[in-house]
């Protein structure tokens, strides 16, 4: 994972300068399902400090302009969508008002392919964010089965224009 020389911060204020996206970092770990590998995009503040992932919840949107969300239904994605997965790759939020299961559903696409959905419990928050002005979205983390390489869980990051530089 990240070396001990990094200073993890959870910002309590933001000076308006953009965060910078650093290289993605990998970590191996074991959980109840077996060995996994996690690849996560790293974000640095203007002082070069690593921003802790817990900083990006709904209550912090107004402060940081960044929101993290787990992607639901990724176990049903196509092989092509799975092959397209990589951190920092853009994803699209697509409202599905005609979805037969949930009229408030928001599909998440990568390269025009269905990746999954915004979790039902998060659609109200994500819709507010989508209506708040120009936003960007990208893959934040990918947790893969170590032996098969298949994605087990994926998360995305949403941010206001100008909040993150690449």
- Give me the mean pLDDT over the 64-76 stretch: 83
| Chain segment 13-32, per-residue pLDDT in tens | 556 666 777 666 555 555 55
Domains and CATH numbers, the chain: 19-165 (3.30.70.2330)
Residue 4: the pLDDT is: 39
Q: Are 76 and 103 in contact (CB under 8 A)?
A: no
Residue 36: the pLDDT is: 56
Of the two residues 86 and 107, the one the predictor is more confident about is 107
Q: Is the confidence at residue 79, as pLDDT, over 50? A: yes
Q: What angle do CA 49, 52, 53 make, to 5 degrees?
A: 140
| Chain segment 91-147, per-residue pLDDT in tens | 999 999 999 999 999 999 999 999 999 999 999 989 998 998 889 898 888 877 777
Q: How confident is the model at residue 35 (pLDDT cuts 50, 70, 90)?
A: low
d(CA 27, CA 40): 9
Of the two residues 127 and 45, the one the predictor is more confident about is 127
| Chain segment 133-154, per-residue pLDDT in tens | 889 898 888 877 777 777 878 8
Residue 165 makes CB contacts below 8 A (sequence gap 6+) with 18, 19, 20, 21
Q: Average pLDDT, whole number, for the chain?
A: 77
Of the two residues 110 and 2, the one the predictor is more confident about is 110
């Amino acid at each position: 994972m990240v070396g001990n020389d990094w200073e993890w911060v959870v910002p309590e204020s933001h000076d308006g300068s953009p965060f910078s996206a650093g290289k993605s970092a990998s970590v191996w770990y074991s959980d109840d399902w077996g060995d996994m590998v996690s690849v996560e995009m790293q974000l640095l503040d203007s002082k070069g400090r690593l921003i802790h992932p817990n900083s990006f919840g709904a209550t912090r949107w107004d402060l940081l302009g960044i929101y993290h969300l787990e992607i639901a239904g990724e176990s049903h994605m196509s092989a092509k969508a799975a092959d397209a997965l990589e951190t920092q790759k853009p994803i699209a939020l697509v409202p599905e008002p005609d979805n037969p299961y949930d009229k408030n559903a928001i599909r998440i696409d990568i390269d025009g392919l269905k990746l999954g959905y915004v979790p039902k419990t998060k659609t109200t928050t994500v819709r507010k964010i989508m209506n708040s002005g120009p936003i960007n979205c990208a893959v934040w983390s990918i947790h893969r089965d170590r032996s098969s390489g298949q994605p087990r869980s994926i998360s995305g990051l949403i941010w206001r224009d100008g909040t993150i530089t690449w």
